[in-house]
Every structure is written in C-alpha cells, then in structure tokens.
Amino acid sequence: FTPPTTQKMETIKICLRKMQHHYSPLKKLENLLRVIFLAIGRHNPSDMENYDPISIESNKIKSLPPADELVRWLVYLLARTSTVGCEVEAWYMWELLPKQLLTTGDSSYYLITLFSAIDVLKNTESIRKLGQVDDSSITEDGSYCSSLGSVSPVLSSSSDAFVKVAVPDELDGSIRYHTFPGVPQMTAGKLCRVIAHQFGITNPEDHGLYLLVDGYETCLLANECPDLIRHQLKQAHKAHLFAYKRHEAKIAWPKFAVSSLS
C-alpha cells in the first residue's frame, strides 16, 4: 500500500467535493471514477481533464485491484479527505443513473464498492476486521487468491463488507475463492455479470451463482441477494458456500470449504 502523493491527494479531495456538489448523477459518477483511477490507476493528475472514465477500455478496468483492496482504498480516501455524506451521494447515483449504465457497464461494480466502503466506515468493528487476512484463501502454492485472480491478501470473511465466492477451474480441477462487495444492491444477477466480465467468460448464460448448504446446490435467481441470504444463514448458524459455475458442471466440493467459508 503506497499512499498517494500530496498533489494527488489534493486532486482527489477536489474530485470528491465536485462529486458532492454536482446535481448530475453522471457527473457524480465521473468524479468518483476519477478518484479511483487517480489513486490506483495508471493516470497522471494532468490527464484527468480530458479523461472520460465512464467509457474506459476493459483492459484498463481489469488492471484495477480486486474488490477487497478497492474497498480498503475507498475507506482510506474517504477518511483521509474528511468526505462526509457519501451514503447520500451513493444512493443519489444509484437511483438516478440510467438503468442501462448500471446493468450493462462496470459502473454498478464501482458504485457497489463505494456502498461497501461506507458500510465499513459506519462500523468500527468492520474497520478492525478490514485488516484481517483469511487463511482459507491460501492456495496450494502459498499465495492468496483475490477477486481478480491476483496475488493479494484477502480480507477475512467475517467482514460484512464482502461476499466470498468459489470459482472452480474445470481445466485443472482446482477451486479458487474470490471476494466481492457484499451489499444489498449486489444481486445474484449483477454479481454473475461482474464475475463473467472479470474472468472473460464468453458464455455467461451457461453459468450461475449457486448456494451450497446442507449438501444441496441451489441456483440463485437473478433478483436474489447473496448478502441477505448470507446474513440469514449466519443467524441460523448454517455452514454455506456461494459458488459460480457452469449449470452442467458436477463439482465435488470439499467439506472443509463449506465450513471454513461460512
């Protein structure tokens, strides 16, 4: 983790203030994405005036850190710049942005990540958990598997800001675990689109998000909310696992995976 320079931090602060002062939800989103790319992108502050983050190419999107790291960045930036009232801004954008932008592009992913960061800031216990690393995400070679498949520490599944999803690789027979924002706005349908986009799945209609509980697999409907299901199962003290896989794939899920990730 390398904090932004003083110059970048000042530019980030200005962008966040612009996000709060604009009436247009598109302008608000544009400034939010500018903040993200200023902090962790490959762009210089001088390039920001002519930079349109909403139409950014997919290869630049995929160079971003995974969801868990992105949430940590947003928590840091919001706190460091003393930006208050972010939840109002997030809901303003969520309700007023064109639905096509939220259903077909990557905007919903960034916006949902903002919701996750806000949820963390509202709970001091979540802030403490934010720095925990989950041993269950360690792969056979000792590295960690993150939401973009990069080697990066994964936040503990006890943090309510994240939902952990198992993604089996049918080619080598392995199962990797990835973290995604866990908020009510992230439905199963949206989460499937995010996973398919980030992992370059060309036939997403053949895949689905499944819930493994009590030895049974259930494919979630597009409008169901994994975050809500997770909370209900936790209250019932039931071991469970979310998995993204092909509908026709028969996966032998290891028992320890369900118990350790619940």
pLDDT value, residue 252: 83
**Closest-CA residue to 222 (of 250, 196, 201, 259):** 196
Contact call for residues 185 and 112 (beta carbons, < 8 A): yes
pLDDT, mean over the chain? 77
Q: pTM of the predicted model, to two decimals?
A: 0.67
pLDDT digits (tens, 9 = 90+) for 175-222: 888 888 878 778 899 889 888 877 878 888 999 999 999 888 999 999
Measured in whole angstroms, the distance separating CA 236 from the mean position of its chain's CA atoms is: 25
pLDDT value, residue 214: 86
Q: Which of 6-10, 128-132, 141-145 has the highest mean predicted lDDT (pLDDT)?
A: 6-10
Please report the domains of the chain, with CATH numbers, ordered by start residue. Answer: 6-126 (1.20.1050.80), 162-246 (3.10.20.90)
Residue 224 has what DSSP assignment? Answer: -
**Closest-CA residue to 86 (of 121, 51, 59):** 121
Phi, psi of 168, rounded to the nearest 5 degrees: -75, 145
Q: Identify the band that residue 52 occupies on the pLDDT scale cut at 50, 70 and 90.
A: low
Q: Identify the band that residue 59 occupies on the pLDDT scale cut at 50, 70 and 90.
A: very low
CA angle 67, 69, 71 (to 5 degrees): 70
Is the model more confident about 57 or about 49? 49
pLDDT digits (tens, 9 = 90+) for 227-260: 899 889 988 988 899 999 999 999 888 776 665 5
As to burial, measured by CB atoms within 10 angstroms (0-12 exposed, 13-18 middle, 19+ buried), residue 200 is exposed
Question: Each residue of 43-66: b (16+ CB within 10 Å) or e?
Answer: eebeebeebebeebeeeebeebbb
- CA distance to 15, 147, 210, per residue, from 249 (Å): 46, 21, 12
Taking residue 128's Cβ as centre, other Cβ atoms within 10 Å add up to 11
